Amino acid sequence: MNVDLMVCHWVDSAGDQYSRGTYPAEWVHRYLDQNYLRVDPVITGCYQRFHPVNWKRLDWSSKASRAFQKEAIFYSVGNQGFSVLIRGPNGQFALFTVSHSGNDADWAAFTEEHTPSMLLITTRLWI
């Protein structure tokens, strides 16, 4: 199994957002236009944790979260995801994320096998 998409999304100390990756440009524009940073469960969940996050473990129960997820899937982001938090010394906040459209069992096996590699990739992003 391979990942479908990958992105590094960061927010600087002034609150400006940046990203590099393979997310569809339409989704990136929509995300910024709708200011989804404030309702994205991945951002909220990762900001509250230190360890990498499998999206299935996040709280998707609110109406806004469910609508956000439905729209992200529509834009081909995927129903599975794994994000690694990176914090900078001056309030910077970044995530390295991989995502995929697939079933829970395959995704669980993939993340179990590849978590060490994804952590290593994340550390290399900022060197």
For 13, the 3-state DSSP assignment is coil
Write the single-letter amino acid at 93: F
The Cα–Cα gap between 32 and 104 comes to 29
Reported as a pLDDT band with limits 50, 70 and 90, residue 101 is very high
Q: What is the CATH number of domain 5-124?
A: 3.30.450.80
Q: Are 71 and 94 in contact (CB under 8 A)?
A: no
What pLDDT does residue 53 have? 94
Residue 100 parent element (H or E): strand 93-100
Whether the per-residue pLDDT at 127 is higher than 70: the answer is no
> For the chain, what are the domain ranges?
5-124
* pLDDT, mean of residues 94-117: 94
What pLDDT does residue 92 have? 77
pTM: 0.89
